[in-house]
Structure 1
Amino acid sequence: IDSLLKTISNIPAPNEPFHIRVPSRSDYKSVIWVVVTGDLPEDELHTAAKRVRDDLLALDGISRVRAFLPREHRIAIELNTEKLEAYSLTPDAVANAIRQSSIDLPAGAIDGPTGRLDIRTKGQAYSLEEFASITVRSSNGARLTLGEIATTITDTNDEEKFISEFNRRPAVRIDVGRIGNENALKIAEQVHEYVDDSGGRFPEGIILSTHADRALSLKSRLETMGSSLLQGALLVMIVLGLFLRPQLAFWVVVGIPISFA
């Protein structure tokens, strides 16, 4: 990764040192859910959910967003056996080419003095056209695509549907999380602002809601700690002021928050 980064010319502050870190799943902590609901066809609802996921990832300070889409949506590919023999290909080789090309995964992050640069591979194919354009083999600048060796590429669904509902409506849940020292309160605030301003961004019938906001409990604990600190400081000042000098009580109270800094 380090050698490849040296070939990229548009990285912010290229002359400053960067540190590469690949986060593990244990670093991930969920902050808030965004629920996309609507009485619309399934494809339109899923398209809206993918747009919400991409919009949230584009916000500053948000690096981890996962959309929980049903798994029943599948692409059926029928290969032309004559063309496979002509190009000396096997079904396994074609399947491996699809797995390697159709993928969308987080690939880590680069931490530098000017901020964080998140790296993601965005090559997941969704439509029939995207699958047809997958490169199965390339040689001397020539590409052999899946569409050239496939008899049919069709969009198929299982008879048994995966049902996800929110307030009795079809829904897709999107989990917005954080890793490392990312600010959960700021992330939740940005998500709420995005949801509040989403009225004119999506087709009629699409409704965005927030759920399972864990930043609320964090904010409540911080407020409790602040309130306890003020009450304790006032009690210390009163007790020490009665039995000792008020000036001494004042400096003791001042030292309490400093000792926790």
Structure 2
Amino acid sequence: MKPSKGPIAWMVNNGVTANLLMLVFIIGGLLMSMQIRKEVYPSYPQNSIRISVSYSGSTPSEMEQGVTLPIENAIADIEGIKEIHSRVNASNSRITAELMNGVNVESVLREIESAVNGASLPSGAESPKIYRYEKRNESFEIVLYGDVDPIVLRETSAEIKSILLDSPALTQVELIGFSKYEVQIEVDSDTLQYYNLGLDDVANSISRNAINQSGGKLDTDAGEVLLQLDESRNWAEDFNNISVLQLTTGSSLMLEDIATIKDGFADQRNRFFYDGQPSASLRIYRLGEQTPASISEAVYNLMPQIEEALRPGISLNILNDDAVVYQQRMSLLLKNAFFGLLVVLLLLALFLDVRLAFWVTVGIPTAFLGSLLFLPVFDVSINMISMFAFIIALGIVVDDAIIAGENIHEKITEGSSLFDATIEGAKSIAVPLTFSILTNIVAFIPIWFLPGTLGLTFKVIPVVIICVFVISWFEALYILPAHLARIKKSKESHRFKAFVRLQSLFDRGLQRLIHHYYLSFLKRLLDHRYLVTAIAVVTLAVSLSYVWGGHLGFRTMPRVESEFSTATATLQIGVSDDEIYSVKQQLEDATREVIKDNGGDKLAKGLSTQIRNRDGELSIISRIFLLPSEQRLISTREVSQLWRKR
């Protein structure tokens, strides 16, 4: 027989090369899995520019007419802007310009700055702030709560924030829960009148004694010395000994003698509560190559120091840990992949040679691990979306390996030698398998060109799928035949007589199904081909009409069970503090009833409430933090419905 030629034949005759390539894919993929960036959702630069303008004393209507519309009109014709949306309240207007994918963001930013600066805005409006919107990736959240003075809570939170930032593994930590800190000085008018003082006199005394400014420089023989006058005062007690007036007795009248000095916050209506007690949150953000696991590990390593820093009456809880979410999803994927491969191996072993089934099954993880070598080239990380892409690819990759393996097995059963059968089997399936792979690749390429944020989020899907498909194609046509060509016929298999009998039983059953039932049914269909065609057309028409009629729902993302439920109450402008806290109490009481009646600690781990004052617009936001869905008896949707009924 004339020796076969071509790349498939060469690979079959050089099995060491096939083994080395498989090892490169497997070992290289395992090593890359330790190095590749890991995150819950893919991170990408935001293609949006934000414009913020403040105008105190105006109304929402004045803001819209005088600020928002002029800016929108000014930037509407700039090339590269996909859409513009705005948010307006009594004293602020925020305009966001969403850009098209692929545009030069810096160039568009300069054009927007020029257009906005040329817009006619009210004289009382502040200068517009124009910047590229950057989304931060929150990875971990710690809540501190307790029935203590807000200043004590703030000091404790600030101390813990410093502990976190001292770790080289943590870069960005944000303290949430307090409005702007200020030292509040209250002076009674009668006291001022008694000492013949005015508020300006007190203010000037404070200004003279609480300064931090440069004192110039001093040239010396040793070099230049910079001088700094530092009389800054940060806490209320630092202001006590400021001299306000020199008395006739020769003594000084101190600020603490005439005023009540205390630490406080600029806006008392911005408050956070957890389980009904004042609270603050420390949010840790992921930057660069940081991963949810590395951040979580760093925080837990610091936990002894954090707990030591807690003041009496202050407790701690962890509300968000992306490492847990990531690990849950990854464990689910790996578990499903393992059981899927096990089922494939068992089913193939029942109908084909066990060793052939083994090599076909091994080719599947080889394709997945091999694809990991190429993902960093396209800046793709391991995240929820890329995991979803792996799941999509799994079914198709299994089909490719089975088709190639089964075709080679068919050639072997026809009596050809192992080498000739594997080469001929791989060659005969090469063209249809190649076109099958190309067809699937083409089907996923349009996802790459989706516009806006949707495109930036989902473009990892075609990258992952193409990498897996290409490696799978190479493995099925070149590596798999090289392994199957070296499966030697051995009497050793007769030791497993029970399994051989089981194989024979399944094979006879399959042949009977094919020849007695399937072929006869197929013959009847062919004899009534016009009726079959008509039924197919009607089925297609009914299916399309069902979709076009709006009966089939559509979601960009599948519904995932959330681990929290949120209720928001919006209040009228001008409501009193008593009314605010009355609504807050109603929300919290209803929440506690729902939790108590549906499992208590087995349902939820906490309740947070925020009183938010955004430029005079008051709202109360309550959130139930639920346990993972597999640990509770009712869904998040049911919790929300029960909460709403209360």
Q: Give TM-score, length-normalised by structure 1.
A: 0.60
Cα displacement (A) at 1:209:
1.0
Cα displacement (A) at 1:69:
4.2
Please tell me whether the aligned partners of residues 31 and 177 of structure 1 are also in contact (alpha carbons under 8 angstroms). yes
Confirm or deny that 1:37 pairs with 2:145.
Answer: yes
Confirm or deny that 1:67 pairs with 2:152.
Answer: no
Aligned to 1:200, what secondary structure does the other structure show? helix
Distance 1:180 1:249, change over 3 A: farther
Cα displacement (A) at 1:255:
2.4
Please tell me whether the aligned partners of residues 179 and 265 of structure 2 are also in contact (alpha carbons under 8 angstroms). no
What is the alpha-carbon distance in structure 2 between the residues aligned to residue 142 and residue 177 of structure 1? 37
What is the alpha-carbon distance in structure 1 between the residues aligned to residue 141 and residue 281 of structure 2? 7
Alignment partner for residue 135 of structure 1, among 178, 202, 213?
213
Higher helix proportion, which one? 2
Distance 1:202 1:25, change over 3 A: farther
Confirm or deny that 1:170 pairs with 2:248.
Answer: no
Higher strand proportion, which one? 1
Cα displacement (A) at 1:34:
0.4
CA RMSD, Structure 1 to Structure 2 (Å) = 3.5
Cα displacement (A) at 1:145:
4.3
Matching residue's letter, 2:136? Y
What is the alpha-carbon distance in structure 2 between the residues aligned to residue 151 and residue 258 of structure 1? 79
Cα displacement (A) at 1:181:
2.9
Cα displacement (A) at 1:256:
1.8
Match of 1:252 in 2: 360
Map 1:60-99; keep pairs closer than 5 Å.
Answer: 60-75=168-183, 78-79=203-204
Deviation string, structure 1 residues 207-229 (Cα, Å, up to 9, x no partner): 11100233322111101111111
What is the alpha-carbon distance in structure 2 between the residues aligned to residue 47 and residue 216 of structure 1? 29
Matching residue's letter, 1:143? Q
What is the alpha-carbon distance in structure 1 between the residues aligned to residue 286 and residue 151 of structure 2? 29
Q: With CA pairs under 8 Å and 6+ residues apart, which has the higher RCO, 1 or 2?
A: 1
Alignment partner for residue 328 of structure 2, among 220, 224, 244?
220
Distance 1:159 1:252, change over 3 A: closer
Please tell me whether the aligned partners of residues 178 and 265 of structure 2 are also in contact (alpha carbons under 8 angstroms). no
Structure 2 residue runs of 5 or longer lacking an equivalent are 1-44, 46-131, 185-201, 219-225, 233-241, 245-254, 256-260, 370-646
Map 1:133-212; keep pairs closer than 5 Å.
Answer: 134-140=212-218, 141-145=226-230, 157-158=265-266, 160-195=268-303, 198-212=306-320
Cα displacement (A) at 1:42:
1.6
What is the alpha-carbon distance in structure 1 between the residues aligned to residue 314 and residue 283 of structure 2? 18
Please tell me whether the aligned partners of residues 195 and 209 of structure 1 are also in contact (alpha carbons under 8 angstroms). no
Distance 1:169 1:252, change over 3 A: same
Please tell me whether the aligned partners of residues 272 and 278 of structure 2 are also in contact (alpha carbons under 8 angstroms). yes
Match of 1:8 in 2: none
Q: Give TM-score, length-normalised by structure 2.
A: 0.26
What is the alpha-carbon distance in structure 1 between the residues aligned to residue 313 and residue 336 of structure 2? 46
Please tell me whether the aligned partners of residues 177 and 279 of structure 2 are also in contact (alpha carbons under 8 angstroms). no
Distance 1:245 1:197, change over 3 A: farther
Aligned to 1:232, what secondary structure does the other structure show? helix
Deviation string, structure 1 residues 43-98 (Cα, Å, up to 9, x no partner): 21111101111111223422221111412422579446x98xxxxxxxxxxxxxxx
Match of 1:240 in 2: 348
What is the alpha-carbon distance in structure 1 between the residues aligned to residue 310 and residue 334 of structure 2? 41
Distance 1:218 1:159, change over 3 A: closer
Matching residue's letter, 1:142? L
What is the alpha-carbon distance in structure 2 between the residues aligned to residue 213 and residue 143 of structure 1? 44
Aligned to 2:309, what secondary structure does the other structure show? coil
Q: Name which one, 1 or 2, has greater alpha-carbon Rg.
A: 2
Distance 1:132 1:254, change over 3 A: farther
Aligned to 1:142, what secondary structure does the other structure show? strand
- What is the number of equivalent residue pairs in this alignment? 191
Matching residue's letter, 2:347? V
Confirm or deny that 1:49 pairs with 2:127.
Answer: no
Please tell me whether the aligned partners of residues 27 and 180 of structure 1 are also in contact (alpha carbons under 8 angstroms). no
Aligned to 1:66, what secondary structure does the other structure show? strand
What is the alpha-carbon distance in structure 2 between the residues aligned to residue 74 and residue 192 of structure 1? 33
What is the alpha-carbon distance in structure 2 between the residues aligned to residue 179 and residue 259 of structure 1? 30
Distance 1:159 1:231, change over 3 A: closer
Structure 1 residue runs of 5 or longer lacking an equivalent are 1-22, 84-130
Distance 1:28 1:75, change over 3 A: same
Distance 1:255 1:48, change over 3 A: same
What is the alpha-carbon distance in structure 1 between the residues aligned to residue 229 and residue 168 of structure 2? 39
Matching residue's letter, 1:40? V
Distance 1:25 1:188, change over 3 A: farther
